[in-house]
Amino acid sequence: MPANPVAIADYQCGAGLPLLFIAGPCVIESRDLVLSVAERLAGIKDKHNLSFVFKASFDKANRTSVDSFRGPGLEEGLKILEEAGRSTGLPVTTDLHEPGQAESVAQVCDILQIPAFLARQTDLLKASAEAAVRHNRAVNIKKPQFIAPEDSLYPVRKCEACGLDRILLTERGTTFGYGRLVNDMRAVPIMQRCGTPVVFDATHSVQTPGGGTTGGQRDMVPTLAKAAVASGADGVFIETHPDPDIALSDGPNMIPLDRIEQLIQHLSEVRSLILQQR
């Protein structure tokens, strides 16, 4: 069985514990942006005594357009993430797309994140799980938009088969026709039956896929995030940017950096109320 709670650096994420927050910009636009956002989030983490992991992608390999910005790539991106973690003390995570990236990512990141589109790729899951075991890391599997919540069990079992028990599952919405995602909050307790803590991705859940670029409804992020925490989610994933309207990826979904502290406080209060009722 997977571990629950899951150890991530100095934190524990899981049943009966305060929320784990995973936050940062969608993509590494520059070293300066990453370091400034990481420092701001570290300050919020220290102020409110939170469990906080910094996230940014070194490559957005699933952009809709071939002309869209993807990021600095594996080598440069991991250098920037390593510096962000070292300078702020925050654990870091990023997503990977190919089995050959797993070892490099595990050397730097506390959590290896499997993108939703790739969560059925056995070779990627195995390479990530094996690297996580070697380096005492965790793997976060994003539930694909096209599977039922209970079918999240199968990628979990693939990781377990490699000897990994430090596994998170992340809910990020379900495809509903064309150009829409919906969130059925029953997914949170259903996915928890796999034995893992469940994180709710509040920003990718508000995407409106389709067209040359993916749109989104960032004003709905707080509503969905609070509903997920009330449903028992053990963590919340939130992408944030100083000015989402000029962000190079997923701007319509991201929360402005100057608004994230209040949202995190509200979510922590909801979690406390839920834990008091158990």
Write the DSSP assignment of 95-134 as a string of letters. E--SGGGHHHHHHH-SEEEEPGGGTT-HHHHHHHHHHHHH
> Which of 12, 17, 15 is CA-nearest to residue 196?
15
| Prediction pTM value | 0.96
What mean pLDDT comes out for the span 29-52?
Answer: 98
Task: Determine phi and psi for 165, rounding to 5 degrees.
Answer: -120, -5
CB 5 within 8 A of CB 15: yes
Instruction: Note the pLDDT tens digit of each residue in 89-100.
Output: 999 999 999 999
Q: What are the structure tokens assigned to 35, written together?
A: 């370091």
CATH of domain 6-276: 3.20.20.70
Per-residue confidence (pLDDT) for residue 66, from 0 to 100: 76
Q: Determine the residue type at 100.
A: G
Instruction: Note the pLDDT tens digit of each residue in 102-136.
Output: 999 999 999 999 999 999 999 999 999 999 999 99
> Which of 259, 238, 251 is CA-nearest to residue 21?
238
Q: What are the structure tokens assigned to 4, written together?
A: 């629950």
Per-residue confidence (pLDDT) for residue 67, from 0 to 100: 66
Q: What are the structure tokens assigned to 154, written together?
A: 């199968």
Per-residue confidence (pLDDT) for residue 96, from 0 to 100: 98
> Which of 156, 139, 143, 254 is CA-nearest to residue 188?
143
